[in-house]
Structure 1
Amino acid sequence: MITGARQVGKSTFLQNEFPNFKYLNLDDFSILEQAKKDPYSLWIGEEKIIIDEVQKAPEVLPAIKDIVDKTRRKVKFILSGSSNLLLMREVSESLAGRAVYFEMFPMTYREIKGDIQDNNFLKLWQEEIIKEEKIEKVNPIPFLLKGFMPPLLYINDPEAILVWWEGYIRTYLERDLRELSQIENIIDFRRLMTVLAPRSGNIINQSEIAREIGISQPTVHRYLKLLEVLNIIKRIPPYFSNILKRVIKSPKLFFIDPALCTYLSGYYEEESLINARELGNFFETMVFLHLQVYSELLTPRGKLSYCRTTSGKEVDFIIEWGRKALAFEVKFTERPTQKDIKNLLDFIEENPNIIRGILIYTGNSVKYLHSKILAIPWWWL
């Protein structure tokens, strides 16, 4: 099962990496009709089948379960969808114990650059000293405006990028929403996204948002769930530790691509974004994308969380992998100070399983700010 937001490259990946599989896309109306009337007819004589956009016909899932069991797993399926298939009840019920789940995210900085050999993220898990060095500086602002979706790779005109994001929201989000659920008012839904966007990287107060938009709190709750099903937002849980008793227990919300936040927040050019009070939130959202991707690539997958105490102390991200963990602080600054790492040091003091603390910033040096805290430029990850 491969899930992921629209336009992250699922169909391209499946057709290029698995040419010996029969490829079926349920966006094709005739195939969709066939899938609903007689799903078994889709794979007569085939042993390797890809079904793309499978969420459009949940009726095929019991048939897939049946054929997989009858052939003792000789027939193999790759299923994909732009809805979060794990949140679909039909998937969890039909394919329990029979499926492996992967999520596809927008691209990372290194994928965009075509350089995926060195994995600095893995070096952070080793307890050896990482060499201090000066490296080139990479301005994050263009990435916060453009984003990391594959179709944008070769678009450099700022106006064309804005047109693409507007089309993305209209063509995919609003269309898929209508297919998934009865949205009473698409304008209210669009306003919800606009209100959420500058809050990416924050704990969300649903009652406050309901008052701001003028809709009920249960409607906000339902709309947030829909955005999650569409893989547009992610909620990361609070870090759990027996040592930390007084912690905030609500999840933290992030948009899947930082440019979607900046676009919905109304920042369309560099000057306005540089002066935005939410710039730190957008930068943290970009770091979140990379940490989420690299957590998913660990085997087994790492667990991404955050920590905020009731007294207001926060550590932006914690990644747990077995009995080890890394703690991250994100700062939009070129010159980090000791004040920037205070919460990290306190957190490491209380949690002996933390290998090291990492401050992610916008400068051009890999350097130690403390024997337990390494500062790294954002793209070094």
Structure 2
Amino acid sequence: METAFLPRAAGPLLERLMRVFPVVAVMGARQVGKSTLVRHTPGLAQHLYLSLDDLDHRLQAQADPHAFLHRGERLILDEVQRVPELLLAIKRSVDEERVPGRFVLTGSAHLLLHAHLADTLAGRAAHLVLWPMTRREQQGLGRAGLWGELLSAPPQIWPSLLREAEAPREDWGMAVARGGFPVPALHLKDWEERQLWFRGYLQTYLERDVPALRAVENLPELRRLLEALALRSGNLLNQSELARELGLSQATVHRYLNLLEVSFLLVRLRAYAKSRTKRLIKAPKVYLPDPALALYLTGGKPSGAHLETLVLLDLLAFRDAQVEPPGLYYWRTASGQEVDFVLEAGERLLPVEVKATPRPTPKDAQGLLAFLAEYPEAQGGLLLHGGEGVFPLVGRVVAAPWWRVI
């Protein structure tokens, strides 16, 4: 199972943050490669690696957090959420001597939302989110798709830019079934093996991680909610409807959704609007962050919603690898016009629509055209499709195969 390390898009940002902050917390879902990243980052070569999954380490840290932190001058503390007592000791150590890059923490539960971290490490810690692997990371390129290039170039340049970029063609259904979790994506040869892996993955999450967060009384309820969310991937979130369908209270659904988001197994995408207040009050769209996990939970064949999730995963990895992360939204009007994704980087806007069809038509670009009419500052729109051609589709909309971009 041991293979050469594949660089991650977030790696350069991790090294930059370590030169500024005494504490860097690398967060992400279980099994996305956090431990592998921190153990193979050149700037961390002199750090002592200590995993809190190790019972001996955990007992030592619980018994005397201060002494545990003196085991090395620079430490990587893996799965630090297992010993919350360490966080106060880290704060004291940082306040005594502020050394950039002194501590690198990893965790599967979102430490940004963990009460202990919020209280103790505010202003002392930077946070970096690691998502499942992008297609280009799996190819050894250490990056997400060409979003930065597309944001910087006028749409007239997009066709030549995309045609010239190295990008192996691939069936999107196969890419969806591979997903981005490193083990099933890189080491398992077929869907049957991946199904077994996801079965064990969810079992571990439900039986080990969730009880540790003390947030769920009924694990089968949470599993049913996950399945319902997988079926709704890419749709607007209606908590009341979800609660009625599952026979749960709205308060319970609300709490479970927060737990899944904290565990990086749920992404809530906000609506784009000029007014930031409107962005907050409109219903979000919900996604599971990995298309293969969503496919496993729905139990069907790959669909356009799964291709949309594959593109979302790449956008998330791009966003969270930037020094100044762009905004990532969806757009929808009261009349039902919709754009799947909107990237906002300063004054630049890039609306993106995803269609599984191999032959897109101008009708597929109606949402993009409506967005461009309302926001003329967006120079053009991008329609990703399941075919092979890169071409101007209609107006300022360029059609391109999904595999040329991500």
Asked whether 1:95 is paired with 2:95, we answer no
Query: Does the 8 Å CA contact 1:243/1:350 hold for their aligned counterparts?
Result: no
Matches within 5 A, 1:100-139: 100-116=126-142, 120-128=146-154, 129-132=157-160, 133=163, 137-139=169-171
Asked whether 1:219 is paired with 2:245, we answer no
Alpha-carbon distance, 1:334 to partner: 0.6
Alpha-carbon distance, 1:125 to partner: 1.5
**Superposed CA offset, 1:290-328 (max 9, x none):** 111112223311110111122211111111111111111
Q: Paired residue for 2:324? A: 300
Query: Does the 8 Å CA contact 1:246/1:310 hold for their aligned counterparts?
Result: no
Asked whether 1:58 is paired with 2:90, we answer no
Alpha-carbon distance, 1:330 to partner: 1.0
Q: Paired residue for 2:295? A: 262
Q: Paired residue for 1:9? A: 33
* Structure 1 CA distance for aligned equivalents of residues 177 and 101 of structure 2: 44
Extract unaligned runs of 5+ from structure 2: 1-24
Given the alignment, which residue of 349, 365, 381 partners 1:341? 365
Alpha-carbon distance, 1:113 to partner: 1.9
The residue identity in structure 2 corresponding to 1:299 is V
- TM-score (norm. length: structure 2): 0.86
Matches within 5 A, 1:49-88: 49-73=75-99, 76-88=102-114
**Superposed CA offset, 1:145-200 (max 9, x none):** 23111112021132211111111111234320111124221111111111111101
Q: Paired residue for 2:241? A: 208
State the superposition RMSD in angstroms: 2.2
Query: Does the 8 Å CA contact 1:315/1:327 hold for their aligned counterparts?
Result: yes
Q: Runs (4+) of structure 1 moved beyond 3 Å?
A: 115-119, 131-137, 242-248
Asked whether 1:380 is paired with 2:372, we answer no
Alpha-carbon distance, 1:259 to partner: 0.8
Query: Does the 8 Å CA contact 1:237/1:252 hold for their aligned counterparts?
Result: yes
Change (3 A) 1:116 1:182: closer
Change (3 A) 1:110 1:72: closer
Alpha-carbon distance, 1:34 to partner: 1.8
Alpha-carbon distance, 1:352 to partner: 2.8
* Structure 2 CA distance for aligned equivalents of residues 60 and 227 of structure 1: 24
Q: Secondary structure at the match of 2:158?
A: coil
Query: Does the 8 Å CA contact 1:137/1:362 hold for their aligned counterparts?
Result: no
* Structure 2 CA distance for aligned equivalents of residues 345 and 105 of structure 1: 31
Alpha-carbon distance, 1:380 to partner: 1.6
Change (3 A) 1:51 1:374: same
**Superposed CA offset, 1:243-281 (max 9, x none):** 9979970111110101111111112xxxxx15xxxx121
Change (3 A) 1:183 1:119: closer
Q: Paired residue for 1:270? A: none
Q: Secondary structure at the match of 1:376?
A: strand
Matches within 5 A, 1:27-66: 27-44=53-70, 46-66=72-92
Change (3 A) 1:60 1:45: closer
Paired residues, number: 372
The residue identity in structure 2 corresponding to 1:97 is G
Q: Paired residue for 2:342? A: 318
Worse overlay, 292-301 or 317-326: 292-301
* Structure 1 CA distance for aligned equivalents of residues 297 and 343 of structure 2: 29
* Structure 2 CA distance for aligned equivalents of residues 117 and 223 of structure 1: 32
**Superposed CA offset, 1:76-135 (max 9, x none):** 100110011111122122111111110001111111122458963222122341235498
* Structure 2 CA distance for aligned equivalents of residues 247 and 313 of structure 1: 19
Change (3 A) 1:327 1:182: closer
The residue identity in structure 2 corresponding to 1:8 is V
Change (3 A) 1:348 1:75: closer
The residue identity in structure 1 corresponding to 2:388 is N
Worse overlay, 219-228 or 166-175: 166-175
Change (3 A) 1:245 1:35: closer
Change (3 A) 1:24 1:380: same
Worse overlay, 128-137 or 67-76: 128-137
Q: Secondary structure at the match of 2:320?
A: helix
Greater RCO structure (CA 8 Å; 6+ sep)? 2
Q: Secondary structure at the match of 2:339?
A: strand
Q: Paired residue for 1:370? A: 394
- TM-score (norm. length: structure 1): 0.92
The residue identity in structure 2 corresponding to 1:79 is L
Q: Secondary structure at the match of 1:125?
A: helix
Percent identity of paired positions between Structure 1 and Structure 2:
42
Given the alignment, which residue of 174, 182, 198 partners 1:150? 182
Q: Paired residue for 1:177? A: 210
Given the alignment, which residue of 382, 390, 400 partners 1:358? 382
Query: Does the 8 Å CA contact 2:238/2:283 hold for their aligned counterparts?
Result: no
**Superposed CA offset, 1:24-74 (max 9, x none):** 111112211222221111122632111111111221111111111101336
Matches within 5 A, 1:181-192: 181-192=214-225
Alpha-carbon distance, 1:371 to partner: 4.6
Q: Secondary structure at the match of 1:101?
A: strand
